[in-house]
């Protein structure tokens, strides 16, 4: 996908490159075979948006990030040159400003920012919690929900009407010093431009940031257990993102609503718990992340299967990221890790 942007000024006018510093994740566990639970809300609130972003899990395809920024970006713009960013808003609201227009966001929104988009996050309050996937592979909606022309099919869990495009294109015909913090290869470059980066008067094309609310995801249910692909929301060639939303449980008269034990042979499984009651887990709260590595089975905690019998619906809200390559656990993750979680299935 591409877009042609029409600028007031040449977008090439670099004045200086003032700083270069690394934001590479520090890996604590290179090879990991341990299931983990992380207390996401223990990530400390931090004023600056970029500094607030803590990489929890990482591999060569993506970074899984938690952030609790308390202030809007005031004096700089940001651009990620080699990764698409999927920003899930768990707490907070505000406006994502980009050079292709603005997107209002609130609780439950996925913001998809393709690489190369210059943006600024404006928050309404200081209470913000974001779950971000930074992806070196392009992020698309699932191909199997689209026809040959790209139209979403009728059995897709969302449709074009649910996808919010940028509004209120802000165009500033200004000269001066404009700092864009540009991320490339795990480094941030502080680049000062001579013209305002939001100087676009219009564009043609299909490459633009957009928003999609998890609350607009229509779940697919069945008489018997539906496998995770029915929850799929986004795809790349290196991981998938799924949305678990309030829905009816399996309604066969003999169904057991809790999932069965399963061993992912082809992906590490990350679940970010957003809201509701997480039936198959004991002692899981909003903001927690579970990591179940590929190759060993996991499933309901003791008692959860029995507890689920006879229940007809769930109010759970969760985001799952299944990565095809194993994830490395970072030092930031170990600060919020529950070291005994891997023993939580013992009877």
User: What residues line the site for Fe ion (CB under 5 A)?
Assistant: 269
Q: How far is the CB of 267 from Fe ion (least distance, A)?
A: 9
Strand 77-80 to 175-184 pairing: parallel
Cβ-based nearer residue to Fe ion, 176 or 297: 297
Q: How far is the CB of 320 from Fe ion (least distance, A)?
A: 8
Cβ-based nearer residue to Fe ion, 95 or 325: 325
Residue nearest to Fe ion (CB): 269
In which residue are the tokens 């992380």 written?
Answer: 38
Q: What gap in Å lies between CA 253 and CA 72, rounded to an integer?
A: 51
How many residues make up the chain in this entry? Answer: 347
Cβ 235 vs Cβ 41: under 8 Å: no
Q: How far is the CB of 324 from Fe ion (least distance, A)?
A: 15
Q: What gap in Å lies between CA 78 and CA 183, rounded to an integer?
A: 8
Cβ-based nearer residue to Fe ion, 202 or 297: 297
Q: How far is the CB of 292 from Fe ion (least distance, A)?
A: 6
Cβ-based nearer residue to Fe ion, 294 or 336: 294
Cβ-based nearer residue to Fe ion, 37 or 97: 37
| CA geometry: angle 185, 190, 192, nearest 5 deg | 130
Token duo for residue 36: 């983990």
Q: Which residues pair with 260 in a beta bridge?
A: none
Q: Integer distance in angstroms from the first to the last C-alpha of the chain?
A: 52
Cβ 257 vs Cβ 249: under 8 Å: yes
Cβ-based nearer residue to Fe ion, 81 or 263: 263
Q: How far is the CB of 177 from Fe ion (least distance, A)?
A: 50
Query: H or E segment at 332?
Result: helix 331-335
Cβ-based nearer residue to Fe ion, 199 or 268: 268
Token duo for residue 13: 């006018």
Q: How far is the CB of 298 from Fe ion (least distance, A)?
A: 6
Q: Which among 250, 259, 243, 260 is positioned nearest to 312, based on CA atoms? A: 250
Q: How far is the CB of 269 from Fe ion (least distance, A)?
A: 5
């Amino acid at each position: 996908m591409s877009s042609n942007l029409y600028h007031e000024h040449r977008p090439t006018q670099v004045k200086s490159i003032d700083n270069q510093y690394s934001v590479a994740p520090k890996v604590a566990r290179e090879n990991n075979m341990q299931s983990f639970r992380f207390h996401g809300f223990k990530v400390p609130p931090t004023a600056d948006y970029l500094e607030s972003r803590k990489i929890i899990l990482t591999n060569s395809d993506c970074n899984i990030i938690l952030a609790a920024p308390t202030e809007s970006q005031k004096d700089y713009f940001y651009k990620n040159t080699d990764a698409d960013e999927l920003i899930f808003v768990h707490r907070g609201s505000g406006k994502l400003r980009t050079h292709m227009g603005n997107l209002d966001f609130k609780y439950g929104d996925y913001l998809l920012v393709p690489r190369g988009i210059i943006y600024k996050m404006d928050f309404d309050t200081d209470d913000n919690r974001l779950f971000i996937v930074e992806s070196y592979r392009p992020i698309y909606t699932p191909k199997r929900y689209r026809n040959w022309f790209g139209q979403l099919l009728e059995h897709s869990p969302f449709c074009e009407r649910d996808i919010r495009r940028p509004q209120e294109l802000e165009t500033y015909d200004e000269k001066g010093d404009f700092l864009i913090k540009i991320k490339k290869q795990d480094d941030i470059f502080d680049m000062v431009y001579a013209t305002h980066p939001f100087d676009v008067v219009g564009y043609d094309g299909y490459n633009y940031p957009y928003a999609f609310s998890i609350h607009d995801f229509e779940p697919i249910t069945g008489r018997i257990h539906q496998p995770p692909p029915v929850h799929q929301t986004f795809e790349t060639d290196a991981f998938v993102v799924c949305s678990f939303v309030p829905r009816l449980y399996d309604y066969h008269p003999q169904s057991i609503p809790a999932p069965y034990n399963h061993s992912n042979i082809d992906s590490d499984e990350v679940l970010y718990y957003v809201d509701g009651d997480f039936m198959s887990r004991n002692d899981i709260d909003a903001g927690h992340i579970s990591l179940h590595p590929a190759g060993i089975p996991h499933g309901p905690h003791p008692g959860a299967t029995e507890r689920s019998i006879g229940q007809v619906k769930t109010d759970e809200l969760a985001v799952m990221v299944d990565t095809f390559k194993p994830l490395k656990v970072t030092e930031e993750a170990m600060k919020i890790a529950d070291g005994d979680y891997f023993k939580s299935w013992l009877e």
